[in-house]
Structure 1
Amino acid sequence: MPVQRARPVGEAAEVVAAAIIVGGRLLLAQRTRPPELAGLWELPGGKAEAGETARDALRRELREELGVEVSGGERIGDDVPLPDGRVLRAYRVELVSGTPVALDHAELRWVDARELGDIDLVGNDRGWVPHLLGHLTGAS
């Protein structure tokens, strides 16, 4: 079992990932960094700041990364423990305003259920695929 490093006091322990689904398609973002993840696809999101709720982190991160406003935050799938002691969590959010633009990624892509099974996702997001498929096909 890998050793988890302690986080500095006051540092948030959650990393948030957003499932934005519009018209039966899920928005994915292509990473540019770090080198070992560049070119892979992920749910957009990022680290919550100390004292920030998951919903607030989702709104801030998606404003910064995509230039959009979102609401909601229903949990999807299981927690993904990260090597630094944080936990990665996915949330379903609703697009309130704006058109997503790749401000912090190589590109964005809307995928349907079939395409989601074929796309090269980052390892941390792969466990959520069955849950995401349920949302894409209306089963959840």
Structure 2
Amino acid sequence: MINVVCGVIEDTEGRFLACCRAPDKHLGGFWEFPGGKIESGEGPRAALARELAEELGITVAVGKEFSAPVEWSDGDVKIHLRAFWCEIEEGVPAALEHKELRWVRGEELLSLRWAPADIPFVTEILVAKRG
């Protein structure tokens, strides 16, 4: 089991940052919320801040955790994924490791082909936005 974290970043216009996985990566071409593996001895929030700095070149404040983690497996890879709300403190996101970045409005989230483990977080965002 690989422990993984991802960050949901919403801008001032109510759009969410979606990242398309590079074609040469596992699940290449699928969209995801940015993040990565928790290293040994690292807490989830510290891991997320580090990963977003490495992947996107930004500094973030890691906020509230989503309601429940997701366990997902495709038979080869098994992950335990936790999501957190994040706010950009410094920098502009750049696709340093992804094929593409896109700011997407809530109603457009379902138009993307999401990595399966991220879909419950997309659903939670949509439910929260409906109020």
- The TM-score with structure 1 as length reference comes to 0.81
Shift in CA distance, 51/20, structure 1 to aligned 2, threshold 3 Å:
same
Percent identity between the aligned chains?
39
Matched positions, count = 127
Q: 1:76 touches 1:132 (CA, 8 Å); kept in 2? A: no
Is 1:58 matched with 2:51? no
How far, CA to CA, are the matches of 2:88 and 2:130 in structure 1? 17
Question: Which segments of 5 or more consecutive residues in structure 1 lack a partner in the other structure?
Answer: 1-6, 8-12
The answer on 1:21 being equivalent to 2:10 is yes
Q: What's the CA shift for 1:14? A: 2.2
C-alpha distance in structure 1 between counterparts of 2:78 and 2:109, whole Å: 28
How far residue 82 of structure 1 moved from its aligned partner, in angstroms, is: 3.9
- For structure 2, the 5+ residue unaligned runs are none
Give the letter aligned to residue 19 of structure 1: V
TM-score scaled by length of structure 2: 0.86
Taking the aligned partners of 1:74 and 1:134, their CA distance within structure 2 comes to 16
The 1:60/1:138 distance shift into structure 2, 3 A limit, reads farther
- Rounded to whole Å, the distance in 1 between the matches of 2:130 and 2:58 is 24
Q: Could you list the per-position Cα deviations for residues 103-137 of structure 1 after superposition, in whole angstroms to 9, with x for gaps in the alignment?
A: 000010000011102111011111112212245x3
Report the Cα distance in structure 1 between the residues aligned to 2:25 and 2:47, rounded to whole angstroms: 25
Separation of aligned partners in 2, 1:54 and 1:31? 21
RMSD between superposed Cα atoms in Å: 2.0
Q: Contact between 2:55 and 2:95, CA under 8 Å: does it hold in 1?
A: yes
* Rg larger in structure: 1
